[in-house]
Amino acid sequence: MGTLEQQVVIVTGAGSGIGRGIARMAAREGASVMIAELNSESAAGTDDELRAAGGKSAFIETDVADEASVEAMVKKTIETFGRVDALVNNAGIDLEGETTAFSTQTWRRVIDVNLGGAFLCSRSCLPALRKQGGAIVNIASVHAMYGFAGAAAYDSSKGGIVALTRSLAVENGPHQVRVNAICPGYIDTPLWETFLAEEEDPEKTDRLTRESHPLRRRGTPQDVANAARFLISDEASWITGTTLVVDGGMGSQFFEQAFG
């Protein structure tokens, strides 16, 4: 029996990368998975993969920055599976640029999707989660903990997710809803491959990002999914309001480089 047997898990941004890895894990562990994804084609791809492997899943096109879209996501999940036991707020975008040249519109888009999306999805799911208890896992980033040039909006959105996690944990603990965050380091995803291909020296960037982690590799979606599985499961039944850093030691190396 899987660790998430009989649970219903919503995963936002589950069309690819970390989100697909978490959806794959949840289905393998026995959960029914709602794939909430803005790109309906990639959502269908995840759904097909999970079903082909014997999993239970469905998908709905979802814009996490749109209140009506989020409410429709929760409604369909309950209509399809009868309840909600866990929410993984994974959907996000990364638009970067030097601050003095960064438009207000772009700033708002990053905040609305990353931080606003986590808020809207959590708010909409909480009435269902409170009925029997459950878990919210927010995917933040090491950008929540360290400053990166050109990433003011992204860093702020991810730092906000960590703060939101703590507040929701305190507010919903009496309802037996646990809320935790994961801060991944660099993860190999299709988005990462696109970023790497656009670099002036892809081989150098590839080497430096691997070497920025003491374990000398970038992470995989499965590495993050393993952490999410633990935080959703009953094994983490007395853990809430915490942030689990899954970065291959990246943060420790930052410290070493600065003071070592």
53 burial level (CB within 10 Å; 0-12, 13-18, 19+): exposed
Indicate the angle between helix axes 202-211 and 190-197, nearest 10 degrees.
Answer: 130
CB atoms within 10 A of CB 118: 29
- SS3 of 183-233: the string is EECCECCHHHHHHHHCCCCHHHHHHHHHHCCCCCCCECHHHHHHHHHHHHC
Choose, from 154, 187, 225, 227, the residue flagged as catalytic: 154
Q: What distance in Å separates the CA atoms of residue 168 and residue 172, rounded to the nearest whole number?
A: 6
DSSP state of 146: S
Closest alpha carbon to 9 in 67, 93, 89: 89
Cα dihedral 226→232→237→241 (10° resolution): 90
Q: Is 154 a catalytic residue?
A: yes
Token couple for 2: 């899987």
DSSP state of 120: H
CB atoms within 10 A of CB 234: 10
Catalytic residues: 154
